Each structure stands twice: as C-alpha cells, then as structure tokens.
Amino acid sequence: MKYDIVVIGGGPAGLAAAVEANKNGIKNILVLERDRELGGILQQCIHNGFGLHIFKEELTGPEYAERFMDELKELNIEYKLNTMVIDISEDKVITAVSPTDGIISIQAKAVILAMGCRERTRGAISIPGSRPAGILSAGTAQRYLNMEGYMVGKKVVIVGSGDIGLIMARRMTLEGAEVKAVVELMPFSGGLNRNIVQCLDDFDIPLMLGHTITEIRNGNRVTGVSVSKVDENLKVVEGTTFDIECDTILFSVGLIPENELSLKAGVELSEVTNGAVVNESMETSVPGIFACGNVLHVHDLVDYVTEESRKAGRFAVKYVKGEINGDKENVIDTKPLNGISYIVPQKLRTAYLDDNVSLYMRVRNVYEKATFVIKADGEIIKEIKKTHLAPGEMERLSIKTDLIKNRNISELTVEVVEEVK
C-alpha cells in the first residue's frame, strides 16, 4: 500500500491534521486508529468546555470529536479502525496489524504522529503496597463510567489534582459517590482553575495541597489511606498523618506522550516534554515525519491541539509537494529561561514562518502579575504582561514574524519576570 500522508491516531490531533491536509490539496491520505471508533480520548470526556477558541461555543468532548469525524467522512478521507501501528521505519514504511487485514505494510511520503499520551500510574509515582481492587487511574475510571457504564466505587480519594482527577471528582459525585478529598503533593493544583471551581468548590470537595498519601490500607479491596503533609522539599512532615476511609483511589498524576513509535522511526525526543523536538512546521528531526497533539506535548485545551495539528497537516502537504527544501535557511533555536519549563516548537526556520509565530509553553510556578520577556539574541523584542500564570495552564505567546525574520537571529529566549510585590 502507498499513501502520500499517513496519520497515526484518529483522535483530535489526527483528525484535524488529516482534514487540513486534505483541504490543502493532498487527497491520498490514510488515518490509522487502534480503537473501534474515531475520536480518541474525547469520546470519554463527556464534560463541556471544549471548542471555545475553534468554534466559539462550548461543546462536550464527543460533540467536538464528531464535528471533525463528520468532516473527515464528508471529505472521503480513508481510515482504518482496530488497526494498531507496531513499527515506523526512518524511510516511512509503516507496519500495522488488524483483525481484518492481518499484518500490513504501508509506504508513506509523509507521516503525521498523533498517538496522544497515556496516564502515569501508581507505579510511576512509586507508592508501595499490595495490589487490592479499587485502585485505578482517573482516565480509566472515566472510560468505565462514561462509556461502559460501570461505577468504580462509593467512597473515593483522588490523588493528584490534574484536570482528569478534578473532572472525575465531580463526575463521581454526580453519580452518587462520596469524594472524600483530592490530595495534591505540590502547593498548587496541576489542573485548570475553572475545574477547581466547578468540580471541587461547587460540591465542597476538599483540595489538600501540599499533602501526599503515605499508606494504602486494604484487604481484597482498598479500605483507606493515610495522608500526610509535606514540607517545601516535598518530604513528609512527621506527626501530620491522618486517615481517610475509602474504597477507591483514583490517580491523576500526569500524562506521558506515547512515543515508542517515534523512537523506532529515529525521531529525537525532548527530555522535558517527552515528545518530539519539532520545528515551526511541527516537523520532527526526521524530515517528513510530523508530530502534533498530546504525543508532542501534553495539552490542557483541545483547541490548541487542533490549531497545532492543522499546522502539521498543512506542512505535511508542503513536504509531499516538495515545497520544503531543507534547513539551509536561518534556523532560530527557542530556549526557555527563568520560570519556563519548555517551549514548543524548539526550532524556527524563518523561511517557513507564517505572519505570526505561536510559541506554546508552560511556566514552572504559580505567578501573580508577571511579564513574559521575549528576547532575540539577548535583545528584548516583546513583553507580555499576565495577571495569573500556573504550570497547569499552557501559555501560547504570539509574536510577529517581522520581529525575527531577516535579522540572522540564532536564539529566541522567553523568561518570566515577576513583578515585585
């Protein structure tokens, strides 16, 4: 089989990339999805809050997904379900398996990686103990409850205050469970502010910041947890331990981009994002292999996933049409400085920039009243004031390309300067 563009993953990133590629003139596209339907994780995110940037209205996850699925089908873009990609070679030969086709081999001219991410588990944060019933990742519980119709417990403690954990606190409460607490190690929540308000505050669910669970008690099922305070070095403070009775523990302790396939294809990964290092076109270190969505870096808004994925789709088309001629032109490295953990994209080839450059980043701490200072080779080119910054909320900074084009700049830095109180 031969295709111009093969998209790995039929979630929000893959759908947006495929649709955009089609609209830009390449029709020979194939989307490979391992689940039995398209839409990815959005199908289990039944809450509202999606689409405010892209559609200017508030949709639920399934509604957002369906708009792109409908468009994909209207454009007659080919897709295969129940198809799991097991290998991608550097020369873009994709090996996939499915119950109907067996093992298939596909030669692509360009590949778009859109595999998403998976949840960190209890094991990832090394909580010791045996393996009773009643311990799940928040996303697994979400799928059970919202799609399969299984209630996972009655008295719940949620560990970690990521968005999925917050959303599940409300969801379990609405379905009649008692959510005893959300326990967060850090002094701030990793989730969106609005979710703390509408998922916890609305139902008087306590958010215990600066706390961790130190013991899980159980027979065949969880019977309770011990919770302790931690100090500024995140070490347990002795004498602060108390018990909470519960039958279920949900872990919402972060997401990891799923990049096993990217590594097989020889794609360079960032140690900070755990996703590919990309340029302004969302192209990885392997020419013609692009990455977008949560496989690139973990997002909190699907709208930004769509935006980024459309770009990947558009540039994959340019690549296939031979409109991109390598890295000979001026390449600018983006570099996070004080207060910023990462910036995507990591490289900007000035020849391929649109009128505006979007830089996606996360800050390391919570800041009230701070300024993003953007410098080109040490010279300030833009300052953006913000009244509230938090690591749980991705920032997107937009700068005019004119400020960095044709100036032979080699490094673009961004830092946070906090206003003196």
Partner 1 sequence: METKKLTCIVCPLGCHVEITKNDGTFNVTGNKCPRGEKYAIEEMTNPTRVVPTTVVIKNASLSRLPVKTSKPVPKKDIFKVMELINQVEVEAPIKTGDIVIENILGLNVNIVATRSMKSVI
Residues that bind partner 1 (CB under 8 A): 36-37, 43, 46-49, 52, 58-60, 62-63, 65-66, 145-149, 171, 174-175, 192-194, 196-198, 202, 300-301, 387-388, 393
Complex with partner 1: residue 60 or 330, whichever CB lies closer: 60
Q: Least Å distance between CB 174 and partner 1?
A: 5
Q: Least Å distance between CB 227 and partner 1?
A: 25
Burial 295-327 (b: 16+ CB within 10 A, else e): bbbbbbbbbbbbbbbbbbbbbbbbbbeeebeee
The partner residues of 332 in beta bridges, in order of sequence, read 348
* Cα–Cα distance for residue pair 12/356, rounded to 1 Å: 23
Complex with partner 1: residue 299 or 314, whichever CB lies closer: 299
Complex with partner 1: residue 46 or 97, whichever CB lies closer: 46
> Hey, what amino acid is at 394?
M
Place of tokens 């020369």: 91
* Cα–Cα distance for residue pair 257/115, rounded to 1 Å: 8
> Hey, what amino acid is at 241?
T
| Phi, psi values for residue 161, rounded to 5° | -115, 35
* Cα–Cα distance for residue pair 177/166, rounded to 1 Å: 14
> Hey, what amino acid is at 175?
E
Q: Least Å distance between CB 196 and partner 1?
A: 7
* Cα–Cα distance for residue pair 52/22, rounded to 1 Å: 24
Complex with partner 1: residue 112 or 196, whichever CB lies closer: 196
* Cα–Cα distance for residue pair 118/256, rounded to 1 Å: 5
Q: Least Å distance between CB 394 and partner 1?
A: 10
Complex with partner 1: residue 61 or 224, whichever CB lies closer: 61
Q: Least Å distance between CB 168 and partner 1?
A: 13
Of the candidates 418, 414, 267, the one whose C-alpha atom is nearest the C-alpha of residue 341 is 414
Q: Least Å distance between CB 63 and partner 1?
A: 5
Q: Least Å distance between CB 65 and partner 1?
A: 8
* Cα–Cα distance for residue pair 180/41, rounded to 1 Å: 26
Complex with partner 1: residue 172 or 292, whichever CB lies closer: 172
289-291 and 340-344 strand pairing: unpaired
C-alpha atoms less than 13 angstroms from C-alpha of 383 in its C-beta half-sphere: 10
Complex with partner 1: residue 323 or 368, whichever CB lies closer: 368
Complex with partner 1: residue 84 or 147, whichever CB lies closer: 147
Q: Least Å distance between CB 34 and partner 1?
A: 16
> Hey, what amino acid is at 402?
D
